[in-house]
A and B are shown apart, each in its own frame.
Chain A
Amino acid sequence: MGFIIMGAMSTATEKVKHGTVGIIDEDNSELSSTLINFIRMSGMNVVQVTRDVLENPPESLLAVIVIPKGYGENILNETPPNITIYTFLQGINVGEQGVMGAVTSVIESYKNFLKSYIAKQHGVNPEIISNPITEDIHIYVRSWEREFTSQELNTITMQVMFWPWLIFSLVVSVVQLSATFLSEEKEQKTLEILLTLPVRRTTILFSKVLGSGVLAILATISYTVGFIVYIMAFSSYLEQYGMSISISMDPFSIILMGVIFFLCLLFSSALGLSISVLAQDTKSAESLASTVIFPIMIIAFVIMFLDISSLPTYLQILIYIIPYTYLMEGIKYMFIGRYEVFLAGIVVNLLGALVMLSIVSKIFTSERILTMKVRFGRRRKKRA
């Protein structure tokens, strides 16, 4: 994800850097020349074009700006003139939006320049025109016992809304894949032979867990790399427009988040394996996995929109014993360098994985692995 965003951003930057803006100057006044020079000084190539170009704009043109007749005169008469901007996008995506933003931001800068110019003409301090009131906004989040800027808060909220969906799909895949590890042996009818081989059952189980663990490690690596690249891409995107993520992310928080993520996937693998010992075939395993995982994930998702501390105590306890809660909470906490949620998450996820694995081990080392059957659908009522 991070690589994709970074690629889109760098393509957009390159496009803006080498792109050309066409100008149809119907005014030919001193003020219209000022606008053209302003655009040129922003680093864009500027060419004079005619209206014919709008019929079939060449690929090299990012935009065409029409400066109407009377533009300069209107400004001097204190009547806002209207300029028309035609932007040409290849499609609708984040990168192309960057191209559009680049053109409009130049015009915005020019407006500010004009405000100062007009204010000076009237002997007024330009600052009072552009910012008649300044404000200091202090946002204090009680449960985090910390103050944030609105930009910081927006950034955290964006992360909290974005990452859970990615994590959710990954967790579901891990549970579903692990759920087929033993159920596929049952379906292919290889399990009975496997269990009579001169290998301890705990060794067989360990190798299955190892398989899940490798899956979890690969997923964690891809998550960590993706997250770092995403943040880098996002920062460079904001910097392009004079903004920045003022929250410095503590590397230790990223590591702790990685650990939680790994343990959460390990728990998911263990959960998947425990489903696979119960299910008779892969189809049942996948259905059972969905049945088990979705309600758990829904609860974890609820916390995206609610503050846990505002819930009744029993609900708070319920939410905090769900290992996935710490993934969702961790995303918020990694921006503020508070570690208690990570430490609790490590303990809960580790315990969760151990409990699941001990259940699997208990079943796998007994005959229940062959005789246990999970039924789907309603049981028939006994006739009286």
Chain B
Amino acid sequence: MYAVSVNNLVKYYGSFQAVKGISFRFEEGIIYGLIGPNGAGKSTTLKILATLLTPTEGEVEIFGYDVKRDANKVRRLIGYLPEEAGGYKYLTGYEYLELNAKLYSPDNYADIVEYGAKLSGLGERLHNRIGEYSRGMVRRLLLARALMIRPRLAILDEPTSGMDVIHATQIRRMIKEIVNEGVTILLSSHNMLEVQYLCDKLSLISDGVIVASGTPSEIMSATGTDNLEDAFIEVIKNK
């Protein structure tokens, strides 16, 4: 069984076609990247996988569950980090993690919260109100929230967006580590170096269409380039 299976996915917003029949699938225990420029359809695809949007056409399954039909079951399996997200500003970071952990495990949430606190790396600041956090701190808290429950699939939309180099590096390390605990990751990013470092497999997406798929090295060798940035430009040029 695939962790994620997307088959001929189409999504319209009114008359605008955001996703134009894409297909990809990948197995459990890897980091899969969906890479492309702004407006390529990455976030729409991730939102469909996170059960926020419904496909106009096509089939989308997570661990065999249909995202439309079995949305409630899918939500138990995933941890989602949106590209643009915030926390409840009157709660402390700790209270926020606790609130979320209780929804996943009402009887045994303390361990989850402790793990989340460790993942966030916020230390004592975790007891401050979220309203007092910087954008980077909020992002670390939200990522910790998505990963602390050890979901079977973590869907991370631009996980390091808005972070400085030091914190972005910590986040990448965190993502690498959590895969070893059996979590499968699907992420999107603009940052090709990040993708090259993190992803086992990826799909390049442009204008709602997947233009290339494979491991980073497969894509680079197919395009005769030595980094993903050049590979992406080459693919788009030949499209």
Q: Which residues of A contact B (CB under 8 A)?
A: 188-190, 192-193, 195-200, 366-367, 370-371
Contacts and interface: CB of A to CB of B under 8 A. Distances in A.
Nearest to A369: B52
Contacts of B13: 371
B80 A193 contact: yes
A204 to B, nearest CB: 11
Contacts of B142: 193
Contact of B80 (A190, A196, A200, A371): A196
Contacts of A193: 80, 82, 85, 142, 145
B50 A367 contact: no
Contacts of A371: 13, 53
Interface of B: 13, 47, 50-54, 72, 75-76, 78, 80, 82, 84-89, 100, 103-104, 142, 145
Given A189-B85, A190-B85, 17 more contacts: A188-B86, A190-B86, A190-B87, A192-B80, A192-B85, A193-B80, A195-B51, A195-B52, A196-B52, A196-B75, A197-B100, A198-B72, A198-B75, A198-B104, A200-B72, A370-B47, A370-B52
Contacts of A190: 85-88
Contacts of B47: 192, 370
A301 to B, nearest CB: 37
B88 A367 contact: no
Contacts of A195: 51-52
B53 A199 contact: no
Which are the 6 A-B pairs with shortest beta-carbon distances?
A189-B86, A196-B80, A192-B82, A198-B76, A188-B86, A367-B53
Contacts of A188: 86-89
A189 B103 contact: no
A189 to B, nearest CB: 4
B77 to A, nearest CB: 9
Contacts of A196: 50-52, 75, 78, 80
Nearest to A195: B52
A188 B90 CA distance: 11
17 contacts: A188-B89, A189-B85, A190-B85, A190-B88, A192-B47, A193-B80, A193-B145, A195-B51, A196-B75, A196-B78, A198-B72, A198-B75, A198-B103, A199-B103, A367-B53, A370-B47, A370-B52
B85 A367 contact: no
A199 B100 CA distance: 11
A269 to B, nearest CB: 21
Most chain A CB atoms below 10 A, which of B72, B86, B103, B142:
B86
Nearest to A366: B54
A169 B188 CA distance: 48
A141 to B, nearest CB: 53
A310 B53 CA distance: 52
Nearest to B72: A200
| Among A192, A196, A199, A371: residue with most chain B CB under 10 A | A196
Given A198-B104, A367-B53, A189 B88 contact: no
Nearest to B77: A198
Contacts of B88: 188, 190
Contacts of B85: 189-190, 192-193
Contacts of B80: 192-193, 196
A9 B38 CA distance: 69
Given A189-B84, A190-B86, A198-B72, A367 B103 contact: no
Contacts of B51: 195-196
A367 B52 contact: yes
Contacts of B54: 366-367
A199 B104 CA distance: 9
B82 A189 contact: yes
Contacts of B82: 189, 192-193
Nearest to A189: B86
Contacts of B87: 188, 190
B53 A370 contact: yes
A198 B151 CA distance: 12
B103 A197 contact: yes
B98 to A, nearest CB: 14
B108 to A, nearest CB: 15
A190 B103 CA distance: 16
A189 B85 CA distance: 5
Contacts of B103: 197-199
A198 to B, nearest CB: 5
Contacts of B75: 196-198
Contacts of A197: 75, 100, 103
A185 to B, nearest CB: 9
